[in-house]
Structure 1
Amino acid sequence: MEFVIGFILVYSSYLLGNSAFNAGLPVKRWALLGLAVGPVAYPLLNSHKQLAYRKAMGKQGILIRL
Structure 2
Amino acid sequence: MFAITLVLVYSGYSIGNAAFKSGLPVKRWAIAGTLFGPAAYPLFNSHKQLAYRKAMGKQGITIIL
Normalised TM-score (structure 2): 0.91
- Paired residues in the alignment total 64
CA-atom RMSD, angstroms? 1.4
What does 1:1-66 correspond to in 2, within 5 Å?
2-63=1-62
SS of the residue corresponding to residue 25 of structure 1 reads coil
Deviation, 1:60, is 2.3
- The runs of 5 or more residues in structure 1 that have no matched partner are none
| Alignment partners' CA distance in 2, 1:63 and 1:34 | 31
Deviation by residue 1:34-66 (Cα, 9 ceiling, x = unmatched):
11010000000000000000000002213588x
Deviation, 1:28, is 0.2
Where in structure 1 do 4 or more consecutive aligned residues deviate above 2 Å? 62-65
Higher helix share: 2
Percent identity between matched residues is 69
